[in-house]
Structure formats: C-alpha cells, structure tokens
Amino acid sequence: MKAFSSKHLLDRKESVQMAVTIHDVAREAGVGIGTVSRVVNNSPRVKPETRERVLAAIDKLQYRPDPIARSMISKRTNSLGIIVPFFTRPFSMEVLCGVEAVSARLGRELVLYNVETDAQRDRYFSELPMHRKVDGLLIVSLSPDDTVSRRFRDAELPVVLIDAYSPMFTSLVVNNVDGAYQAVKHLIEKGHRRIGFINGLIEGNFKFNQANDRLIGLHRAFGEAGLPFEPELALTSEWSRIGGKRAALQLLSQPKRPTALFAASDMQAVGVLGAAKELGIAVPDQLSVIGFDGIEVSELLELSTVQQPLQEMGEVGAAALVELIDNPAQTPELIRFDTRLIERHTTGPVPSSTHDPEAQALRESEAPPRLVVSGSTGPIPEE
C-alpha cells in the first residue's frame, strides 16, 4: 500500500475543490448550463455567436467534461462494438483497420468481441442487446438469424453488417460470385482447362456464405467456357495457409494434376505456393495460382488475386453505424462493393507440355506472329 504525506493529501483536496464545473463555464460565458451542455454535445440548436462564446470559456477555464457523467445523462457510452470471427486473420485485420480509422477520427472508442466458437457468438448475440455496453454494433462475416435480428431490433441497438446480409440491417457485401467468376475466367483465358479449386470450410454453425458464392462463380465460368466440373479437382480446407497447403498437396499429387489452382482466400493460396515449392513445381511455368481477398501478403508474394476493398468496407461500415446511432429512424440499405482482378506473377499460360488439343489451339491463336529474317534461325528479339 502506498503512503501519502499530509501535504500531498491537502494538495489533492485543493485540486478537487478547484475543479472547473459546467456551472463555471456557464457563468463565464453568460449562458445557462443547458446551453453549455448543448455545445459540449455538438447540438445544432445553438446560435453560432453563442457557441463561440461558450467554446472560448471552455478553452479559458480548461474545462474537461466528465465522460462518465456525460454517458449517464445522454445514455450513450461513446463506443462502438464490433463482433468479428477469428480477428487475427489478415482479412479481419484489414477490415478492422478501416473501422479503427473512422472510430478514432470521430472520437469513438472501439470494443472488440472476438468469436472463435458458436458458444461465443451466441453469448454475444444474447447479452449485448440487454447490457447496452456500446452505442452500436458492427457484425463482420456473421449473418444473425431472424430471432437474433429481432432481439437487436427490439432492444433498439443500432447494427450494421459487414461481409454479411440481413434485410433488417444495413448490410455491406462484396460480389463474391462475380469475383470468383473473374478469377476462373482469367485462368481459362490463359489456356487452362484442368483447374483445381480449394474452397473454405463452413466452420461450426457460422453459415459463411462466401464459400458457397465462390463455388457458384467457378461453376458460372466453367459453364460459359463449356468445361465440365470435375469433383476430384475441388477440395475444401480451413481458411488458412496450412489448410491450403494440405489440400494443394493432395490435388498436385494426382496422376493428372491440375495446371492451375484457384484458392478461395489468399492465405490458402499462400499454402498452395508452399506445396508447389515442396513438390518442385515451378509457379507459374508449371502451375498457375490465384487467390481471393487482396490482403497485404498477396502483394508481397506477387500473388495474382481478386481484390476486395477490405479497409474501405470497414470505413464505410463504421461511418454508417455512427450515422445510424445519430439518426435511428434510417431505413436499412444494401451496399454492394465490386471486386477487382489483379494479375501478378503467379498466373501464366498453360504449360506447353500439357497434352490438351483445345488449349494448344488457343495458345497458337493467341501467340504473336514470328518475324523471321532470311538466314536467321529464330525470331528477332524485341528491343
């Protein structure tokens, strides 16, 4: 236990007694305490000249509102909650960066609720509407069912969904179907016909729709190109590097292995690169690899990928939640984000050793004409 001198205690008592109050500010500015409160809470119902006078008094007296007292009066905590599964995953971290940037700019505290089990998710969905520890809630990649949605709505707790959808809430979603379609179409245009797919597992009861949507996109690209879907070339794994590597080792060990692999996430694609290296398969000369998400590591490894605007989704979601807190009567809206194909160094033409007449014909039709000079044994090199 710390010991304090009598002088220290007297100094503390004096400093407490001299603490500036809202009454002091009101007296200095020549207004009522209600006006000071409205200025502090940024209410528009204050004349500009009066606001300036109150702000000058606050600055002169160095008045600092008590956040606990303010929350008791306003019934607000000045904090935003965010429920996110497996928040250490790069996908979640990039969304969180966007959320944090906006919450910091708007002076809101951020309270993180990490979910790794069904029980954790259910507890948060049950307790948060009752306890109101936050002013509003962002829910990432988890779609609450109708019962849970009604619980949030009845508690009048503002909710915005990111990477998930419910008609009851403002929802931010990415066009996963089109993103996967673009990835597979890119491989087909490179001449690949034997394309493997590593999808993500549906973990627990979380009901992630992303895996389903990306499989639909693959089927669409196959159907458009007249290619059959070969079940032996499609596996599921954890949304992780280790899971992607295990699945890739299995696919690449087949007698007639795929010439290209599409992974449902960048981290799984990183695992594919590891498997190819272990098996001595050169990327992209012998195997093309493309991922999905566009996380930072994809740029570092020069991985071809489908870019999701992850940080932008976090920023827009946080801004939408703050707006909803201030204007609760807003109608829920669906906000869609497009993906973007980014071709880097892990995708290339189908290997020339592949015995596929259709692919060979496509390669020959797309190859540039060879200009041969008399007496030359090959094409003129480009300058």
Give the pLDDT of the chain (383 residues) as one tens digit per residue.
444 444 443 444 444 345 788 888 899 999 988 888 778 766 777 888 998 998 898 888 888 766 545 554 456 678 999 999 888 889 999 999 999 999 999 889 999 999 988 889 999 998 888 777 899 999 999 988 899 999 999 889 999 999 999 999 999 999 999 999 999 999 999 999 999 999 998 654 455 578 889 999 999 999 999 999 999 999 999 999 999 999 999 999 999 999 999 999 999 999 999 999 999 999 999 999 999 999 999 999 999 999 999 999 999 999 999 999 988 889 999 999 999 999 999 999 999 865 454 544 554 555 444 433 333 333 333 43
Predicted pLDDT of residue 9? 39
Predicted pLDDT of residue 129? 84
Q: What's the count of helices (H) and strands (E) in the chain, helices before strands? A: 15, 12
Query: How far is the CA of 71 from the CAs of 45, 139, 290, in angstroms?
Result: 20, 23, 49
Nearest alpha carbon to residue 122 among 165, 85, 169, 166: 85
Predicted pLDDT of residue 2? 45
Predicted pLDDT of residue 66? 60
Predicted pLDDT of residue 137? 96
Predicted pLDDT of residue 355? 45
Predicted pLDDT of residue 12? 40
How far apart are the C-alpha atoms of 54 and 134, rounded to whole Å? Answer: 29
Q: How far apart are the first and last CA of the chain?
A: 80
Query: How far is the CA of 252 from the CAs of 108, 245, 258, 302, in angstroms?
Result: 49, 10, 7, 21
pTM tops 0.75 = no
**Residue at token pair 């709505």:** 153
Handedness of CA 124, 127, 130, 133 (dihedral sign): negative
Q: Which residues pair with 372 in a beta bridge?
A: 379
For 170, the enclosing helix (H) or strand (E) is strand 170-174
The amino acid occupying position 207 is K
